[in-house]
Amino acid sequence: MTDAPRPTDPLIALRPWEAPEVTSWGRLPMNAVDRRSGVLPLDGDWSFQLLPAPDAPVGGAWSSAYVPGVWTMQGADDLPQYTNVRMPFPQFPPHSPAANPTGVYEREVDVPAEWAGRRVVLQVGAAESVLLVHVDGRPVGVSKDSHLAAEFDLTGLVRTGARTVVRLTVVKWSDASHIEDQDQWWHGGITRSVLLYATDPLHLADVTVRASHGGELRVDCKVRDTGGALPEGWYVSGDLEGQLLTQDAEFDRFNAEDDRVSDFLGEARLTATVPDVRTWNAELPELYDLTVRLHRADGTVADTARHRIGFRDVEIVGRDLLVNGERVFIRGVNRHDFHPLTGRTVSYDDMRADLITLKRFGFNAIRTSHYPGDPALYDLADEFGFYVVDEADIESHDHAHEIADDPRYLNAFVDRVSRMVLRDKNHPSVIVWSLGNESDYGANHDAAAGWVRRHDPTRPIQYEGAAKLDWAATGDATDIACPMYASLEECVEHALSGRQTKPLIWCEYSHAMGNSNGTLADHWAAIESTPGLQGGFIWEFWDHGILQRVNDGRPVGRGGVGLFDNGVAAPGHRWAYGGDFGEAIHDGAFIADGVVFPDRTPKPVMYEHREIAAPVRIECFRHEGIVLGNHQHFRGLAWLAAEWELSLADGRTLTAPAELPDLRPGETAAVALPFELPEEDGEAWLTLRVTTAGDEPWAPRGTVVCVPQVRLREAVPQTPVTVQNRSVEVDADGLLVHPLLTCAPTLSLWRAPTDNDELGGMAPRWRGWGLDALVRKVADVRLGVGRATVHAEYVCETGVVRHVQVFTAVEGGVHVEESAELPEEFHDVARVGSVFETVAGLDLMEWYGQGPWESYPDRAFGAPVGHHSVPVDELFTPYLRPQESGGRHGVRHFTLSAPDATGLSVVLDEPRQVSVSRYRAADLTGAAHHDELVPRAGCVVHIDAAHRGLGTASCGPDTFSSYLVAPGVHRWSWTLRAL
């Protein structure tokens, strides 16, 4: 091991963690040259020490740390910490705390002998938050920006064919931390791969590709020679899948005569026109292989760059964002780098799985919140077809107003934005540059925007902070009105106002915290029918739960593969959120706000989104047939296969093959009804089950794409037949006595609060009313022949709810008619309905209604009506913080049965919200994590006359008024029978 850095070393004397005007020292310029050959990977185990501060001496025993990885997930005493807005330390910008964990990574490297005479470059993929590089004890350079690579020229510092020692010192807190305040876990370490690569001294310094959807290709190359002035006679060549590119002599002559061009920098331009070009878009992501070669005067190749490029154009015309001239809907999601075992480090396979999941559920866009992603993410987005909003590593949430105009941070803003653009400019998937997130708006943003507009006029810029005061403003640092959690009413009003000047695409909407994403279908109905609205990005992709051992409270780390399944942690483990690692400053479960669980298991909202984004839809049902429509922008329907399903109320499901019509985007056509409806009465639903016809890059043949549905026939109300010669048994308190029930049906107005309920203020109000602690008082019990009528009052802090139950003996069971009168002060309650509990052993639920996944009144578009069967234990949705979950909307009737087919059935008067669980609402309310829950042997059953919508009020608008539970009289009825 080398000696500790001396205090006189420039890197230490500089104290870069305290100098906001210093963004780098010794770091090479960013470029878009793809280096995939001649690479020496340095990933693996490094010697490691964690120091208490950057000035602390290196000494004592060395441990081991895996690179890439964060030390906060590898057994160090410095553990993860989650904050949303607040900084995790009290110092104001640009200061950082004295207690500043600093990781020292060191390893010996054998530099290949064949690299003699070549330029040797060290690349550190990402380090959080300040990186200091030494080689053989000598200082090399400094870099800030935790989410972009830093490169350093080691040519004069290493000997080829010999062993050298590389030391990477990573300082966790710095002035840069104040602009990386990004609603995620705070970690420390080297989060992306480290490598060495070698080039000829004469090398490609940058390559800029511009490929339009008309087939015109322009490739601008910058050339440098580290040995001195550029040699005479060098030139570049290129080919695009066999088609040779032409070198633009006029361009070279212009640069040769340009006094601004340094002797050490040359430029060349290659051009081509591609006939019958295959254009790139998110539906048909056609890519071409481009090779660029730099030649010496004798024709030998000094350097080569290979790129996969796409021909496409992005422009804004009026208030529309166009891709290749087409107005496209942005069905997006915000995505952080996250993994439950490795924190910020995400492998290529993980990223590929992320994008496959998103593609299968109808997403076509990603915002890289709130920093640039790993380079491999953009390669995958190019390949699979995603529109990417590439976001700079800037968020100063806690001190946004001060920093936006602070000249000490000017260099950092421009540096981070420009380096992102320089790295990612050749990816066709990147259609918009974002200047960052939640950093107010000031001169620093204008400076960064000015640089981007001059360097890359082919893409628009967006920044929410620039437009938040006036979406119609012009001349600011955003070309797109990209509001954050603005209400649908506000956005529609703006689009209809006549003032709109730019596209409106939410940068964040529909906050996915816990049981959430209510009104998503309502939003998209408005988006698709309102010119000027073009989509948005759901917050967010992941629940950032870290797998934690319960016994010692530590992260499990890289060895935890297999300790979770279907969103559930194995016994003895749990998904940790803010505060679970002993942090004094944290923001709790606000980190669990994704559309997938920490293991990438889809939440129920994913099926909602899949149906909202359906490429083929049933437009309507007419007597002459079904009208189908193609809702894609560029693609026909030939890539899809389909089958018809007819669901009848009597339990039958009929199927028939479906032949999809040949429809271009936006076209509709009528097809014949595939079934003769049976003569008998009863509800009937027709479903088109659409799958992939062949293998897609993101889905094998037969993968379900969507299941659009239409009702062919209404239900006919059924009146149960009463039995006069059999009594109904109730106890002295007027509670129904039934052999299959352990707790009789009583009134329920409370649900285990969702995250939206708690943070939106509804749950505190409900508690204030006393809805979680209703006291039942019997007012009157009247017994008749085959009938019992019970009047009860439910008393709470602020009022009385009158509840009436009428029990009537019917063939095979009992019919229950109920009414509840809510006083006016109860203007918005969670639910009104019945709750009862069953005997043990009823482990299977079968129902006719919406399903099979969880659904609620304002999130039911993606749950088709049909006959469904799910084990009771699988009905529950394990949101990270236990809460109301597992409900099924629109249930007509259901059974709960034991393996021997005994059990009970319930027939409802009309489609109702039903939930069946092993937990009471109080069980869920009282638990912070799922390992604290103890399932009950029987079933807890809720039948709701009315159930409140979910909304997204944890961060964003609440549900619509049409989904609220109003005061007044509510009536419902149901029939209970033994199987």
**pLDDT above 90 for 918:** yes
Under a CB-based contact definition with an 8 Å cutoff, are residues 664 and 729 in contact?
Answer: no
Q: How does 256-294 read in b/e, with b if 16+ C-beta sit within 10 Å?
A: eeeeeeeeeebbbbbbbebeebebbbbbebebbebebbb
In 3-state terms, what secondary structure has residue 98? coil
- Name which of 1-10, 716-725, 940-949 the model is least confident about: 1-10
pLDDT tens digits for range 742-784: 999 999 999 999 999 999 999 999 999 999 999 999 999 999 9
Under a CB-based contact definition with an 8 Å cutoff, are residues 567 and 547 in contact?
Answer: no
pLDDT tens digits for range 578-604: 999 999 999 999 999 999 999 999 999
Strand 504-511, strand 533-539: pairing: parallel
Residue 722 binned pLDDT confidence (cut-offs 50, 70, 90): confident
Q: What are the CA-CA distances from residue 967 to residues 295, 497, 823, 970 (Å)?
A: 80, 35, 6, 8
Rounded Cα–Cα distance for residues 942 and 834 (Å): 6
Here the tokens at position 625 are 């047939």
Give the pLDDT of residue 255: 52
In 3-state terms, what secondary structure has residue 19? coil
Give the pLDDT of residue 797: 82
**pLDDT above 70 for 260:** no
pLDDT tens digits for range 326-351: 999 999 999 999 999 999 999 999 99
Residue 256 binned pLDDT confidence (cut-offs 50, 70, 90): very low
Q: DSSP assignment, residue 239?
A: E
Mean pLDDT, range 934-955, rounded to an integer: 98
Enter the pTM of the model: 0.96
Rounded Cα–Cα distance for residues 28 and 608 (Å): 46
Give the pLDDT of residue 681: 79
**pLDDT above 60 for 479:** yes
pLDDT tens digits for range 355-386: 999 999 999 999 999 999 999 999 999 999 99
Here the tokens at position 418 are 């420009």
**pLDDT above 90 for 1:** no
Contact residues for 423 (Cβ-Cβ < 8 A; gap 6+): 30, 31, 32, 148, 149, 372, 375
Rounded Cα–Cα distance for residues 506 and 480 (Å): 9
Rounded Cα–Cα distance for residues 79 and 72 (Å): 5
Nearest to 856 by CA among 514, 614, 484, 358: 514
Q: What are the CA-CA distances from residue 899 to residues 840, 842, 844 (Å)?
A: 12, 8, 8
Q: DSSP assignment, residue 356?
A: H
Give the pLDDT of residue 257: 47
Give the pLDDT of residue 3: 39
Give the pLDDT of residue 936: 98
Residue 6 binned pLDDT confidence (cut-offs 50, 70, 90): very low
Give the pLDDT of residue 5: 39
pLDDT tens digits for range 68-94: 999 999 999 999 999 999 999 999 999
Residue 2 binned pLDDT confidence (cut-offs 50, 70, 90): very low
Mean pLDDT, range 152-158, rounded to an integer: 95
Higher pLDDT, 264 or 490: 490
In 3-state terms, what secondary structure has residue 966? coil
**pLDDT above 50 for 44:** yes
pLDDT tens digits for range 203-231: 999 999 999 999 999 999 999 999 888 99
Mean pLDDT, range 297-320, rounded to an integer: 97
In 3-state terms, what secondary structure has residue 924? helix
* pLDDT averaged over every residue in the chain: 95
Here the tokens at position 415 are 């540096």
Residue 11 binned pLDDT confidence (cut-offs 50, 70, 90): low
Give the pLDDT of residue 35: 79
Q: Percentage of the chain surpassing pLDDT 70?
A: 97
Under a CB-based contact definition with an 8 Å cutoff, are residues 305 and 540 in contact?
Answer: no
Give the pLDDT of residue 724: 72
Nearest to 340 by CA among 180, 146, 186, 560: 560
pLDDT tens digits for range 814-841: 999 999 999 999 999 999 999 999 999 9
- Name which of 15-19, 96-100, 306-310, 708-712 the model is least confident about: 15-19
**pLDDT above 80 for 252:** no
| Phi and psi angles of residue 447, each rounded to the nearest 5 degrees, phi first | -65, -45
Q: What are the CA-CA distances from residue 839 to residues 617, 742, 893 (Å)?
A: 43, 6, 19
**pLDDT above 90 for 200:** yes
